[in-house]
């Protein structure tokens, strides 16, 4: 059906990739149009690892003309051009190694799921207790269930246990049995921790 174009179609035709609204004049000599498109300066600093380089602002007609004659390789030596066009460009540079927090990284073959391997590879080393007492991975898991930090003492352990039992026990919250799983996890965590040397 023919008719007037929709307002959204008119807006879509008026948009151009890279347009930046603003009150800048076109950098081309003698042009009074708004400079809404950014283009690299021919004689300025090129984009590099240190930053985006120097730019000029042009109107739509002048940025189109600039793009028609732009040559990325101008000013480069034949060796630099060849290096920039190589399919492995940049892969010959040495990269910084990822930190393993002082422990050797896990072997990829130890995992069936690559995402598990990535998570284990970059997991932070567990923080030691300030009093120097050892915590097993099970101790740390139980502390997380109770919402306690690694430096919690026996008193903090008992107080947190009592608080969570009051919160989750059906006798204390009007017969609501929806928290039974959480209550069981809290009881198991407390039972496991209370006999550990770190909480003696």
Q: CA-CA distances (angstroms) from residue 105 to 63, 82, 110, 121? A: 50, 37, 11, 6
Measured distance CA(126)–CA(111) in Å, rounded:
21
Statement: residue 158 has pLDDT above 90: yes
Q: 186: how many CB neighbours lie within 10 A of its CB?
A: 23
Statement: residue 20 has pLDDT above 90: no
Give this prediction's pTM: 0.40
Among 3.40.190.290, 3.40.50.150, 3.40.50.300, 1.10.287.110, name the CATH number for the domain at 137-199: 1.10.287.110
Coil/strand/helix, residue 161: helix
What ranges do the domains of the chain cover?
17-72, 137-199
Statement: residue 14 has pLDDT above 80: no
Q: What is the pLDDT of residues 48-96, one digit of tens each?
A: 666 667 788 899 999 999 888 888 788 888 888 887 787 776 666 666 6
| DSSP string over 86-124 | STTTTTTS--PPPP-TTSPPPPGGG-SSHHHHHHHHTPP
The lowest-confidence range among 24-33, 94-103, 112-121, 137-146 is 94-103
Higher pLDDT pick, 62 / 44: 62
């Amino acid at each position: 059906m023919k008719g007037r174009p929709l307002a959204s179609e008119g807006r879509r035709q008026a948009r151009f990739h890279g347009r930046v609204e603003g009150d800048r004049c076109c950098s081309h000599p003698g042009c009074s149009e708004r400079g809404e498109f950014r283009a690299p300066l021919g004689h300025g600093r090129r984009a590099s690892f240190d930053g985006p380089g120097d730019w000029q602002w042009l109107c739509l007609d002048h940025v189109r003309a600039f793009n028609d004659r732009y040559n990325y390789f101008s000013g480069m030596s034949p060796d630099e051009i060849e290096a920039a066009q190589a399919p492995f460009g940049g892969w010959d540079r040495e990269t910084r190694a990822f930190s393993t927090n002082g422990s050797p990284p896990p072997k990829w073959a130890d995992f069936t799921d690559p995402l598990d391997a990535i998570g284990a590879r970059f997991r932070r080393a567990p923080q030691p207790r300030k009093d120097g007492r050892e915590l097993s991975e099970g101790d740390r898991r139980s502390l997380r269930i109770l919402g306690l930090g690694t430096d919690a003492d026996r008193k903090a352990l008992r107080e947190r246990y009592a608080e969570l039992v009051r919160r989750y026990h059906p006798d204390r919250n009007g017969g609501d049995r929806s928290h039974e799983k959480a209550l069981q996890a809290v009881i198991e965590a407390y039972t496991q921790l209370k006999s550990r040397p770190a909480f003696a």
